[in-house]
A and B are shown apart, each in its own frame.
Chain A
Amino acid sequence: MHKKPIVYPYIPNSAPETKAAMMKEVGVTDPMQLYEEIPEHLKYTQEMKLPEPILDEYSIRRHTDEILGKNKTCCEYLSFLGAGCAQHFVPAVCDEINGRGEFLTAYVGESMGDHGKWQALFEYCSLMGELMDMDILSIPMYDGGQAASSSLRMANRINDRKKVLVPASMSPEIFTIAQNYLNSVPAPEIEIVKIGFDSNTGLMDLNDLKKNISADVSAVFIENPSYLGFIETQAEEIGKIAREAGAEFIVYTDPISLGVMEAPANYGASITCGDYHPLGLHLGAGGCQGGFIATHDDMKYISEFKDLMFGLTDTLQDGEWGFGEVLFDRTSYGSRDKGKEFTGTSTGLWAITAAVYLSLMGPRGMEEVGTTIMQNCQYAAKKIGELPGVKIQFSSPSFKEFVVNFDMTGKSVAEINKHLLEFKIFGGKDLSKEFPQFGQSALYCITEVHQHKDLDKLVYALQGVISC
Chain B
Amino acid sequence: MARQKKLLRDNYHQARWDESIIFELSVPGERGVLVPLACPGVVSQVGDGVSAIPANLRRKKAPALPEVNQMRVNRHFYHLSQETLGTDVTLGISEGTCTMKYSPKVQEHMAARHPGIVNVHPLQDPETMQGMLEIYYQVEQFLKEISGMDAFSLQPGGGAHGVYANASMIRAYHRARGDNNRTEIITTMFSHPCDAATPNTAGFKVITLMPDESGYPDLEAMKAALSERTAGIMITNPEDTGIYNPRIEEYVKAAHAVGALCSYDQANANGMLGIHRAREAGFDMCHFNLHKTFSAPHGCMGPATGAIGVKEFLKPFLPVPRVEFDGQKYILNSNYPESIGKVRSYFGNANVVLKSYMWIMQHGAEGLKEAAICSVLNNQYFMKKIAAIPGIVIWYAKGKRRLEQVRYSWEKLKQDTGVGTDDVNKRIVDFGIEHYWTSHHPWVVPEPFTLEPCESYNKEDLDEYVEVLQQISKEAYADANFVKTAPHKAASHRPTHEAIDEAELIAVTWRQYQKKHGKK
Contact = CB atoms under 8 A, between A and B. Distances in A.
B81 interface: yes
B448 interface: no
Contacts, number: 770
A342 B496 contact: no
The interface centre, meaning the residue of A71, A95, A104, A138 with most chain B CB atoms within 10 A of its CB, is A71
Given A101-B89, A143-B345, A361-B65, A345 B492 contact: no
A63 B362 CA distance: 11
B315 interface: no
Contact of A311 (B77, B275, B456, B506): B506
A397 interface: yes
Nearest to B301: A348
Contacts of A8: 362-363, 367, 370-371
A48 B63 contact: no
A448 B122 contact: no
Contact of B52 (A123, A310, A332, A397): A397
Contact of A115 (B92, B94, B490, B496): B490
A146 B306 CA distance: 15
A50 B158 contact: no
Contacts of B36: 89, 372, 448-449, 451
Interface string B265-288: 000000010111100110000000
A364 interface: yes
A335 B441 contact: yes
A320 interface: yes
Contacts of A79: 121, 124
Contacts of A213: none
A236 B508 contact: no
A126 B121 contact: no
Contacts of A73: 115-116, 118-120
Contacts of B90: 113
A54 B361 contact: yes
Q: Among the interface residues B73, B110, B280, B487, which one has the most CB atoms of the partner chain A within 10 A?
A: B73
A185 B202 contact: yes
A347 interface: yes
Interface string B369-382: 11101101110110
Contacts of A379: 38, 42, 45-46
B224 interface: no
Contacts of A312: 21, 507-508, 510, 513
Interface stretch (B125-133, B254-262, B475-483): B125-133
Nearest to A10: B102
B31 A365 contact: yes
Interface in A106-159: 106-117, 119-123, 125-127, 129-131, 133, 135-140, 142-146
B500 A69 contact: no
Contacts of B302: 140, 142, 345-350
Contacts of B309: none
A125 B509 contact: yes
A71 B429 contact: no
A345 B84 contact: no
Interface in A176-196: 176-177, 179-181, 183-187, 189
Contact of A316 (B183, B457, B493): B493
B194 to A, nearest CB: 6
Contact of B160 (A44, A67, A266, A345): A345
A280 to B, nearest CB: 10
A312 B500 CA distance: 9
B491 A116 contact: yes
B206 A266 contact: no
Contacts of A374: 49-50, 52-53
Contacts of A362: 30-32, 65-68
A141 to B, nearest CB: 9
A360 interface: yes
A116 B81 contact: yes
Interface stretch (B3-11, B241-249, B465-473): B241-249
A164 interface: no
B219 interface: no
Given A99-B112, A107-B301, A324-B495, A6 B366 contact: yes
Nearest to B181: A186
A366 B63 contact: yes
Given A54-B362, A120-B80, A376-B42, A44 B277 contact: yes
Contacts of B120: 71-74, 283-285
A102 B88 contact: yes
Nearest to A430: B123
B425 interface: yes
Contact of A34 (B76, B81, B168, B380): B380
Nearest to B459: A18
Interface in B356-370: 357-358, 360-370
B87 interface: yes
B490 A426 contact: no
A183 B84 contact: no
Interface string B83-113: 1111111101011001011111010101010
Contact of A64 (B64, B83, B110): B110
B350 interface: yes
Contacts of B298: 105-108, 345
Given A108-B98, A350-B303, A359 B32 contact: yes
Given A71-B131, A349-B299, A53 B363 contact: yes
A388 interface: no
A455 B299 contact: no
Interface in A55-113: 55, 57, 60-61, 63-65, 67-75, 77, 79, 81, 83-85, 87, 89, 91, 93, 95-113
B1 interface: no
A177 B47 CA distance: 39
A415 interface: no
Contacts of A127: 22, 65-66
Contacts of A143: 157, 344-345
Given A50-B365, A129-B512, A342-B201, A378 B182 contact: no
A258 interface: yes
B45 A382 contact: yes
A1 interface: no
B115 A75 contact: yes
B325 interface: no
B377 A19 contact: yes
Contacts of B494: 112, 315-316, 322
A468 interface: no
Contact of B512 (A10, A93, A282, A297): A297
A370 B50 contact: yes
20 contacts: A10-B295, A11-B371, A13-B378, A31-B373, A44-B275, A103-B81, A106-B84, A114-B85, A117-B300, A129-B511, A174-B345, A183-B168, A184-B171, A185-B180, A286-B349, A302-B503, A345-B160, A347-B303, A362-B68, A448-B35
Top 3 A-B residue pairs of the complex, sorted by shortest distance between their CB atoms: A344-B160, A184-B203, A68-B116
